Structure 1
């Protein structure tokens, strides 16, 4: 069966070329969700805000990003990735234009909601699309596609920090609008080919076998994964969202924080690729458990860290620990749920993970405002991470998921 699928396009040279284009699109389209982190201290100073109020645009960005993953994922199931990408790009550009004209934190937050919603096209919908084109190497493919989000976070904060310093945060958004429009639309047109029918049939066969082993309906599993995703991403958000603000508070400056964020996210890219390789052997559930445990350990390491060197080191460790977590959710959806619903199902679960990021970003700022430090915010993240680990252990205890390759073999 696998050989027949390869002859029709999956795991083929075209599939790998498509994966490269997908990665490039994701790196550009996700820029809007990271820029707000870079400009957060400047916005806080301009509008005279508290730390939690300054985090409000990020929170709205992530809420929009979460809803966009689900809504745009459904659109991809119906209309395909190309035209969905083009429409979302135009909305991103419009949101960036609205942000440059913002005169208050409320207007900026609404603009960021629009940017976040449309930017979601570069995450869950792209991951769902590329997952149809791979069978034997689906874990690696999904991990690479998901790495576009982290590559965007590693590259753009460094680039935009210089623009911010020289020209202010509004110019940052003008630059992003031009790059997004010029970069994404031509690449979207190159992704018009449809996945072969044989690949969808094989994916349905594999997901049916795993679903039977779990004893859970797709809807129940979807909600369970969503709850787990909220737990892990409340924990994940603390370092990712507040590392720049943490460095500013310690006197290191925003540039150092941006470097730590880039280092963290580059480590996340490495982690995602390695997790993808692992997932092709162990499956998504076991890979998710490994990543969740490693993330929890890394969060503990932040508690004693307070110097610049130690924060650089722990940020790298954190990135190397948790990068494979979110792609693992997409793999579990593809392993257990119908292929024809991939966009909506992947979108829903990733929506929950991003809601966790939004909640965690705001909650960490609120805890800082109450306590005057980030120590209890890290403890809060560790507790939420424990919820995620408990759910995955429970799921693993009631099913014996087969690896993607094994699921394609005759029973």
Structure 2
């Protein structure tokens, strides 16, 4: 009688680095790009809003300012929600909330209502497209976690490339109000059903393995979770204060130098375009040498670019320096998420990454403002660039100290050598 043959156990398709993980990665990038409309639309419609409501430029800029505070708040609250309910529920809520926010804003009778909607709906739910999405995808990769994180983070930059073009086409054709309404309806009918494909959650075994790996890595660093989060918050805030100087003021700077705002806009576009390559490249590097080391490299190069801004102000030089700045600054912020997943409990990934990312957003808001204040007092951007260098040194110090705390090199994918 022939021996009984054992039935092969089917492979689990819902495991890290699987085909399903890569499918989820592609879908996450798409959703992040769609939700990214919330952070870019108001910038494009600002002149139209100013003319419609009859306010000055400062008043017309208010919706953007309160929207950014809404994004910072949303990354924290929605990050905690993601940890508890999973990303699918969050995206369903965000699709309705962000879509509805655009529709209501498009019908707003005055600037107060327009600004309020940007703070409470558009800003908050646009936050779902960054930190929570990054936290979710980090659970589905081990060997290529760094690359997966930066790909999803690039959705914001891709949105900044696509959505302004869509809106600029829509405004002369149907006006800014109907353009807003159209964007809202598009988000609602795309993100909400796409959320159904994100229902799968990491298994208990996946989370347990990740918990053991991060606990070992955190013991290697020798600091508590709370202190590490505080360190990353300080590092994220300081790096983005420095980062905001060229991003927020390069257009005005070129105007002051006599090159015209169009040249400055080209330099800003160059930064964002190269920032996409920077993010992807930083993920590849992080998978080889770890998040802290990659952060240190990016911080050093960003600081170098800021110093070069103080030394060269020729048109060609500014294009080159802006290119250097873009090639390295884009990969910095996602590294905080990579470090969180290397060292912090995975069940708190959404909340912790949300806290750190919110600090980077507030750093951008503060840095853009304080650079303007420095310019008003000095009549020059030179001191403002040097202020950015000083804040960057704080970030560089934090990143270097964290790297030195690593007494041994862990498996940057998140597994111990024997796992």
Both proteins in one fold, TM over 0.5: yes
Matched length: 407
Query: For the structure 1 residues 189 and 350, does the alpha-carbon distance in structure 2 shift closer, same or farther, using more than 3 Å as the test?
Result: same
* Aligned: 1:79 with 2:85: yes
Task: Check the 8 A contact 1:279/1:287 in 2, yes or no.
Answer: yes
CA contact (8 A) 2:14 2:20 kept: no
Instruction: Between 252-261 and 71-80, report the one with greater CA deviation.
Output: 252-261
Pairwise CA distance, 1:49: 3.0
Cα distance change, pair 89–297 in 1 and its aligned pair in 2 (3 A): same
Q: Distance in 1 between matches of 2:128 and 2:414?
A: 31
Alignment gaps of 5+ in structure 1: none
1:2-401 alignment runs, 5 A limit: 8-40=14-46, 43=49, 47-49=54-56, 54-102=60-108, 105-114=111-120, 115-164=122-171, 169-246=176-253, 258-303=265-310, 309-400=316-407
State the alpha-carbon separation in 2 of the partners of residues 5 and 372 from structure 1: 65
Q: Could you report, residue by residue, the CA deviation over 1:47-97 in whole angstroms, capped at 9, with x for unpaired residues?
A: 44355x554332222211111111001111111111211111221123223
1:156 positional shift: 2.0
Alpha-carbon separation, structure 1, partners of 2:244 and 2:207: 35
Encode CA deviations 1:306-329: one digit per residue, 9 max, x unaligned: 566554443332221111111110
Task: Say whether 1:408 aligns with 2:379.
Answer: no
Distance in 2, matches of 1:132 and 1:139, equals 11
- The C-alpha deviation readout for 1:248-277, integer Å capped at 9, x for no partner, is 666777766554433322211111111111
Moved more, 91-100 or 387-396: 91-100
Q: Is the 8 A contact 2:139 2:202 kept in 1?
A: yes
SS of 1:190's equivalent? helix
TM-score under structure 2 length normalisation: 0.87
Cα separation, 2, equivalents of 1:118 and 1:5:
37
What does the per-residue CA deviation read over 1:214-271, in whole Å, with 9 as the maximum and x for residues that have no partner? 2211111111110110001111222333445556666777766554433322211111
- 1:209/1:407 contact within 8 Å kept: no
Deviates more, 1:101-110 or 1:144-153: 101-110
Specify the SS of the correspondent of 1:157: helix
CA RMSD of aligned residues (A): 2.8
1:174 to 1:301, Cα distance in 2 relative to 1, 3 A: farther
CA distance in 2 between counterparts of 1:62 and 1:206 reads 34
C-alpha distance after superposition, 1:20-42 (max 9, x if no partner):
00001001101211223334455
Question: SS in structure 1 opposite 2:198?
Answer: coil
190-199 vs 308-317, which moves further: 308-317
- Between the aligned partners of 1:161 and 1:246, the Cα distance in structure 2 is 24
Assess, with a 3 A threshold, how the Cα gap between structure 1 residues 249 and 119 changes in structure 2: closer, same or farther.
Answer: farther
For 2:154 and 2:170, locate their aligned partners in 1 and report how far apart those are by CA, in whole Å.
Answer: 24
Q: Is the alpha carbon distance of 1:296 and 1:257 closer, same or farther for their aligned partners in structure 2, counting shifts above 3 Å?
A: same
- CA deviations over 1:146-205 (Å, ceiling 9, x no partner): 111111112223333344466654454334323322332222121111223222122112
Specify whether residues 183 and 253 from structure 1 end up closer, same or farther in structure 2 by C-alpha distance, changes over 3 A only. Answer: farther
Which structure 2 residue ranges, 5 or more long, are not aligned?
1-9
Over residues 92-126 of structure 1, what are the superposed CA-to-partner deviations in whole Å (9 max), with x where a residue is unaligned?
Answer: 12322343344655443322213111101100000
Inter-CA distance 6–311: structure 2 relative to 1 (3 Å threshold): farther
